[in-house]
Structure formats: structure tokens, C-alpha cells
Amino acid sequence: MSLGFGILGFLNYGPMSGYDLVKAFESSLQFFWHAQNSQIYLELKKLEKKGYIDGETVIQSDRPNKKIFSITEAGKRAFMDWLAKGAEEDATHFKSAFLMKVFFGGNMPPAQSADMLRKFKADCETYLEKMGETPDSIGKYGSNKEKYQTLYWQFTVDFGYCFIKTCIEWAARCIQKLENLENEMR
């Protein structure tokens, strides 16, 4: 239920609509926790059913009606219990289909592997540029929060920058080695 705890975390800061939650995930957590719109809305239904959140429909004349969600006392307790547990999984282990492809890349010609790594590097560079918007999001969502709360948001942004930069550097080294291998094979 990690996605659910992410939603509870945002709602612990204040009431939000499903749309607001989608935007909050996209602008702050996306580099370490990706959630599709449909997943967020499905999780909202589950959280409401568990009594962790309440939803109130707001009638709008110029737009479709929207539902604003608030965390309940039971939701706050569940969220704080989850936070207090610390890491439930080993943070040094993660799954990556991309790295599995790299591992087995010796079954392809080096040029094809290098192309895959070039695309990965380009995607990381694009993502790094997009991460430049994150400090603005922290300012927007953190404007009514305590400074110490947004400090933790900055910790995750710093991790994201460091991680993506490392990925770019790693891909460049791999590409160079594959280009050297291709030259040797000629």
C-alpha cells in the first residue's frame, strides 16, 4: 500500500482533489514513485473504503464537480505508524528491466547495445532538465508548510539529482567502452 501511504502523506498536509494529487505526484515524487492517474483514483477509493480518508463533492457551475479528500484520524494513525516503521524493504535492492537488458546485452551487437544506452542517457538528460521544475513545486506546495517539512522534500530532490547524474555518467562510460570494443572488432 505504498501508493496509499503517499496519498495519505499528501492529504496529511491538507485536503486535495484527485487531480491535485496527480499533479502533486508528478511534480514531486515521480522520480522515485511513479503512479498513473488511474492508480491514484483507484487507491483513493480503497482508502475511503478503509475509512482513512473522507471525500466531499464540491459542486462547480463552470466546471465538472470535483471531490475533495481529507485524511481522517484513522488515516493519520495509519500514516504515522507506517512512517515510524522505517524502511520495510532493503533500499539497496530494486528491480530494473532495463538493467536486466544491459546484463544480457552481450547477446546483441555492441552497436545495438550502445544505441540502447544512448537512448537511456538521452532520457536521463531530459529527465534531469524536467527535475529543474521541482524546486518551484516545493515552493508551491510548501508555501504553507513548516520549513523543516520541506527540508525533507529537498532531501529527496537532491537524491534524484544525484541519481540521474550518476546514471548519465555511467551510461557515457558504458557507451565509450562499447565504441572501443567495436573499434577493436573492426
Q: Are residues 36 and 12 in the same domain?
A: yes
Residue written as grid cell 517539512: 149
Residue range 112-117: average pLDDT? 96
Q: Are residues 103 and 79 part of one domain?
A: no
Q: Of how many residues is the chain composed?
A: 186
- The percentage of the chain sitting over the pLDDT mark of 90, rounded to a whole number, equals 54
Q: Please indicate whether residue 87 or residue 56 has the higher confidence score (pLDDT).
A: 56
The residue assigned the cell 538521452 is 122
Do 120 and 180 fall into the same domain? yes
For residue 145, being part of any structural domain is answered with yes
Do residues 32 and 138 lie in contact, with contact meaning Cβ atoms separated by under 8 Å?
no
The pTM is what? 0.72
Helix (H, G, I), strand (E, B) or coil at 117: helix
Residue where the block lists cell 522515485 = 32
Confidence (pLDDT) at 145 = 66
Strands 66-71 and 16-17: antiparallel
**Which among 58, 85, 112 is the end of a domain?**
85
Asked, for residue 90, whether it belongs to a domain, the answer is no
Closest CA to 129 of 165, 93, 105: 165
Answer whether residue 136 shows pLDDT above 70: no
Band (pLDDT 50/70/90 cuts) for residue 96 is confident
Q: What percent of the chain has pLDDT over 70?
A: 89
Q: Are 151 and 171 contained in the same domain?
A: yes
Number of domains present in the structure of the chain? 2
Q: In what order do the strands lie in the sheet with 16-17?
A: 16-17, 66-71, 53-58
Instruction: Indicate if 168 and 105 belong to the same structural domain.
Output: yes
Residue 135 has pLDDT above 70, yes or no: no
Q: Are residues 54 and 104 in the same domain?
A: no
Residues 177 and 103 in one domain: yes
Indicate the average pLDDT of the chain: 87
Residue 176 in this model has a pLDDT that exceeds 70: yes
Q: How far apart are CA 18 and CA 79, in angstroms?
A: 18
Tell me, letter by letter, the H, E, C secondary structure of 170-186. Answer: HHHHHHHHHHHHHHHHC
Residues 21 and 80 both lie in one domain: yes
Residue 11 is part of which domain span? 2-85
Looking at residue 137, its pLDDT comes to 65
| Range in 9-13, 71-75, 110-114, 177-181 the model is least confident about | 9-13
Q: Read off the DSSP letter of residue 143.
A: T
Q: Which of 61-65, 91-95, 99-103 has the lowest mean pLDDT?
A: 91-95
- Radius of gyration from C-alpha coordinates of the chain: 21
The answer to whether residue 91 is domain-embedded is no
Does 136 map to a domain? yes
For residue 22, give the CATH number of its domain.
1.10.10.10
